[in-house]
Amino acid sequence: MMALDELLIYGDGNPSTAVDKWKRTGNKVIGYWCSYIPTEIIHASGALPYRVRGSGATGTDKADHDMSTVCNCSFPRAILDLAYRGMYDFLDGIIGMNECDHGRRAFELWVERLHPPYHHFVYVPRTRKQISVDEYVLELEKLKLSLEKYLRVEITSDSLRQAVGLCNENRALLKKVQELFKKDHPPLTGTQRHRIINASVSIPPKELNQLLHALLEEVKHSDGQRDYKARIMIVGWVGDDTLLHRVIEELDGLVVMDNCCFGARAFWDPIDFDPENPLPSLARSYLARTSCPRMFATFGERYGMLQEAVTDYRVDGIIRTRLQFCDLHGVDNVHLHRRKEQMGAPMSAPLVLDYIGQDESRVRTRIEAFIEQLQQ
């Protein structure tokens, strides 16, 4: 099987088929909610970090009893519904954090209703001030001690160093995959890239590195994508759902870049690890990474990344998107609207999505109209 095919299979599965292989060896799998939770600590404990996703959910009726549909984001509701239905029973524990109110409450309900064998909550500060870094170091120390107690292991500075090395290689290779889209005729589609990123949060880091190395070799002599009308960047939040990418590319667009959580922001910045101060260096790196709207006073940084990407990836148009009831990205959309004339490429009106029960016809009409506008 080609590396691309294997990555796509891993990315589409929830759980990933890699989980079965991992658990057959007697190893643990620890779920985590958000990319601000350092997976290096989980990996250094000997467990597989597995980012929980809503993929596979066909409804949220079980979760809706606890999280109303009229004010709660459908992504954490989908995850919680899968958990209620036993789809996450393969996890040996779950780690949550204060990413947003919706995600935090879904984690709390998971713990209250399902009583997982292990659970831990990490408070992640929302600023980069030194006092915030110091607080985050304490939180990471609590996480480390909690995992050590549950798994009966010692997480050493050396095991953290090795885990950081593997995960930084993941990031560097994913960035090389991303840079393929600077070409006139990229060897992958944006949909394939998104599915690869989904795979990257659900398989062992060492296996991911092997597959990404093989993938980069496979595509060296590819003819690439030629039949497209516009190079598109997605800005906002789409999660692990590939619908938006797929619709854009079925309508002759090509998604060449994004700034999404299940996207470029996930791998953009390496960890600057100090073996003499392992947890402080992890805390600083995670808070300093290319930010999510959950972080205070960081819009200018995200905007700068987008402006640079418009030039580097020769973006023809930008599609703004967020999930229904997402206040964080809703505020970001307001800031983007105010600066749209300076962005360097035409920008769509906000496209509000729903993770479950997506109205694909509406999305298709909006995307088709936007791509037609770009051609005029």
Structure confidence by residue, pLDDT tens digits, 140-182: 999 999 999 999 999 999 999 999 999 999 999 999 999 999 9
pLDDT at 355 over 80: yes
Which pLDDT value is given to residue 326?
93
Q: Which whole number is the average pLDDT over 12-25?
A: 94
User: Taking Cα atoms as reference points, which of 56, 55, 101, 109 lies closest to residue 80?
Assistant: 109
Q: Which whole number is the average pLDDT over 288-306?
A: 93
Instruction: Confirm if 161 and 201 have CB atoms less than 8 A apart.
Output: no
pLDDT at 356 over 90: no
Instruction: Confirm if 333 and 350 have CB atoms less than 8 A apart.
Output: yes
Which pLDDT value is given to residue 1?
77
Pick the CATH number of 16-159 from 3.40.47.10, 3.40.50.11890, 3.40.309.10, 3.40.50.720: 3.40.50.11890
Residue 45's pLDDT band (cuts 50, 70, 90): very high
Instruction: Confirm if 121 and 99 have CB atoms less than 8 A apart.
Output: no
CATH 3.40.50.11890 residue ranges for the chain:
16-159
Rg (CA), the chain: 20
Residue 376's pLDDT band (cuts 50, 70, 90): confident
E strand map for the chain: 29-32, 48-51, 93-97, 119-122, 230-236, 253-258, 317-323, 351-353
User: Which residues neighbour 300 within 8 Å (Cβ) at sequence distance 6 or greater?
Assistant: none
pLDDT at 358 over 80: no
Work out the end-to-end distance of the chain between its first and last CA atoms, rounded to an integer number of angstroms: 43
CATH 3.40.50.11900 residue ranges for the chain:
224-375
User: Which residues neighbour 328 within 8 Å (Cβ) at sequence distance 6 or greater?
Assistant: 100, 292, 293, 294
User: What's the whole-model pTM score?
Assistant: 0.96
Which pLDDT value is given to residue 238?
84
Which pLDDT value is given to residue 299?
94
* CATH number, span 224-375: 3.40.50.11900
Residue 359's pLDDT band (cuts 50, 70, 90): confident
pLDDT at 357 over 80: no
User: What is the rounded average pLDDT for all residues in the chain?
Assistant: 96
Which pLDDT value is given to residue 237?
87
Q: What is the pLDDT of residues 261-284, one digit of tens each?
A: 999 999 999 999 999 999 999 999
pLDDT at 250 over 90: yes
pLDDT at 107 over 90: yes
Q: Which whole number is the average pLDDT over 223-239?
A: 94
Residue 52's pLDDT band (cuts 50, 70, 90): very high
